[in-house]
Amino acid sequence: MPRQDFFSARNCLTLLLLGTMMVTFAFTLSCSRTPAPPKVDESDIADFVGNEACRSCHAKEFEALHDTYHQRSLRHMNREALGDQIPPSGKINDTQYALVEQDKQFFFEVNPPDPAQHQLWPLDLIFGSGKFGMSFASLLEGKNIVEMKMSYFPQWHKWGITPGQKMEGPAAAGNMGNLMQSRKCIGCHSIAMSKNTFKPRDEFFGVGCESCHGAGKAHIKAVEAGEPDKRMVKFKAGRARDLNTMCGKCHLTEKDVAPSSSMSKMTNRFQPYGLMKSRCFLEGGEKISCSTCHDPHTNASRDTLSYNRACLSCHSATSKLSATVAAGKTCPVNATANCTSCHMPKRDLIGDLNLTSGVMFSDHRIAIYPGKR
């Protein structure tokens, strides 16, 4: 082979090897980097802006709502979100379950009799503000959620069975919802969640302004443009039924409760449903709404006198409204006090399922109950 041809061949081989090495290096480098997560299309909730966008114009309502039970109804499962409500780690009561914390991550551990069925579920979300209890959920790859069998009740510093679940199946971590059920659960604990995602953005966690008033983007643009139509839901101008139905999207109304089901008796757990079955509502011109007794921007009051005043605004000899209310009666037992303790007695949250949770809710079917005099 001529010398010139030899060097040409050698140069070609060298270039080929260098090219191969460069391609290999580039491929290795690209594989060693963490790929960027795919961008999620959330155009279906683009009109929602979050509570912070309402703050500058509605500071009073924003501050009142901030850190309320509604606002804290959905949180990340971590120490920062839990604050002083952190459950104790370790074995849970006399069960096969335990709460485990590893590297700032909480897990729900299942230790059934068969060691081969041992499970360790990462906990992602907290459902509930902790006013009564907190339930914990694990997300399964954007398909559904598993609500753990045990819930924690901060006010009593104890664990209990998650309402609606039973201690059956030693290897079961909890109830698994399908995608539709899971989205409904998260949807009632958040402002907005795209149909293309399985978890809302942080600014949409909890029940906020737009949960009740609707998406705020058009409203903000209207205000900035000085338009008279502010593009928001106006409850003051609507009927009480409309407001109750809005609250009932999550707290349930008659259309959500089958008359023959065990749920039909749970007029304490499903407050709009119970309220709209009351004679006060049905025979009083449908004038009573959730906001008759509750300020939607703050926690439900613990002041029984405020509830007495709401009752006596109709059921009082001096009431200006008494003539428009069915019979306009005053109470023959106690005409001035203890209205709710007699006519809205507290019952166990799941007592109608022949179970006990220890959580007591006021019955919202306002009525005369035997033995409550």
| DSSP class per residue in 284-305 | TTS---HHHH--TTSPPP--HH
Residue with tokens 């201690």: 167
- pLDDT given for residue 29 in this prediction: 38
Q: What is the pLDDT of residues 184-224, one digit of tens each?
A: 899 999 999 999 888 899 999 999 999 999 999 999 999 99
Q: Exposed (0-12), middle (13-18) or buried (19+): which is 159, by Cβ within 10 Å? A: buried
Do 55 and 180 belong to one domain? Answer: yes
Do 189 and 334 belong to one domain? Answer: no
In a domain, 124, yes or no: yes
**What is the dihedral angle through the alpha carbons of 229, 248, 60, 232, rounded to the nearest 10 degrees?**
-10
In a domain, 259, yes or no: yes
- Per DSSP, the three-state class of 328 is coil
Per-residue pLDDT of the chain (373 residues; tens, 9 = 90+): 433 443 343 444 343 333 444 434 343 434 445 566 667 789 999 999 999 999 999 999 999 999 899 999 999 999 999 999 999 999 999 999 999 999 999 999 999 989 999 999 999 999 999 999 999 999 987 678 999 999 999 999 999 999 888 888 778 899 888 888 888 899 999 999 999 888 899 999 999 999 999 999 999 999 999 998 888 887 776 689 999 999 999 999 999 999 989 899 999 999 999 999 999 999 888 999 999 999 999 999 999 999 999 999 888 877 655 444 444 588 888 888 899 999 999 999 888 888 888 889 999 999 999 876 5
Do 205 and 134 belong to one domain? Answer: yes
In a domain, 227, yes or no: no
Residue 346 φ/ψ region, left for φ over 0, alpha for ψ in the -120 to 50 degree band, beta for the rest: beta
Do 182 and 245 belong to one domain? Answer: no
Please tell me what DSSP assigns to residue 189: T
- Per DSSP, the three-state class of 168 is coil
Do 195 and 48 belong to one domain? Answer: yes
> Do 310 and 290 meet the contact criterion of CB atoms below 8 Å apart?
no
Please tell me what DSSP assigns to residue 264: G
Do 256 and 193 belong to one domain? Answer: no
Q: Which domain holds residue 308?
A: 238-362
In a domain, 10, yes or no: no
Angstrom distance (rounded) from CA 55 to CA 210: 12
Quote the distance between the C-alpha of residue 299 and its chain's center: 15
Angstrom distance (rounded) from CA 189 to CA 300: 17
Angstrom distance (rounded) from CA 256 to CA 341: 27
Do 309 and 204 belong to one domain? Answer: no
In a domain, 8, yes or no: no
Angstrom distance (rounded) from CA 276 to CA 267: 10
Angstrom distance (rounded) from CA 97 to CA 117: 12
Do 243 and 354 belong to one domain? Answer: yes
Do 268 and 328 belong to one domain? Answer: yes
Angstrom distance (rounded) from CA 282 to CA 244: 13
Do 175 and 252 belong to one domain? Answer: no
Q: What is the pTM of this model?
A: 0.83
Do 192 and 242 belong to one domain? Answer: no
Contacts of 276 (CB under 8 A, 6+ apart): 241, 244, 253, 254, 282
CA diameter of the chain: 123
- Per DSSP, the three-state class of 32 is helix
Q: Give the count of domains, the chain.
A: 2
In a domain, 112, yes or no: yes
In a domain, 286, yes or no: yes
Q: What is the pLDDT of residues 267-299, one digit of tens each?
A: 999 999 999 999 999 988 899 999 999 999 999
In a domain, 11, yes or no: no
- pLDDT given for residue 15 in this prediction: 37
Do 112 and 251 belong to one domain? Answer: no
- Write the single-letter amino acid at 85: Q
